Homo-oligomer: A and B are copies of this chain.
Amino acid sequence: MKVTVSRKAHFNAAHRLYRKDWSFEKNDEIFGKCNNPNFHGHNYELIVSVTGEIDEDTGYVIDMKILKDIIKSEVEDAFDHKNLNIEVPEFKELNPTAENIVVVIYNKMRAKLSLNLDLEITLYETPRNFVTYSGN
């Protein structure tokens, strides 16, 4: 009897899409106005979904307070009000597209959760664009 438990969270950050090993022209061609060297930014909205058996004692798949604390330490404290390119080590050499950010968040969360639990991360870059990753 596996149930999925989901929790919403959010953080604000600046970023720039580009590759250091490409010319400005090539970055501009591929990333358009997202390649602005002065950065732009987003309110990232996050859904963390954890799937597992309901614990018969508590009626919980996972205690929401514990999940909230892991999201805070792994995602909010690490990314909120940050410049992703400059201040978040995972993006020193990795282009902070929504796709790459969702994989980084998945890997950070995955390392803190029991292997009995499946994990899926959905990340809204804007209210109209979002990405989902579940480790496959």
Contact = CB atoms under 8 A, between A and B. Distances in A.
A30 interface: yes
Q: Chain A: interface secondary structure? A: mixed
Interface string A6-34: 11101011110101000000000011111
Q: How many copies does the complex hold?
A: 6
Given A80-B33, A99-B61, A39 B42 contact: no
- Bin chain A's interface residue count: 35 or more
A40 B41 contact: yes
Interface string A87-104: 100000011111110110
B103 A3 contact: yes
Given A33-B81, A36-B82, A38-B39, 18 more contacts: A4-B131, A4-B133, A5-B129, A5-B130, A7-B129, A12-B126, A30-B58, A31-B58, A32-B65, A34-B81, A40-B41, A40-B81, A41-B41, A41-B43, A42-B42, A59-B96, A60-B97, A60-B99
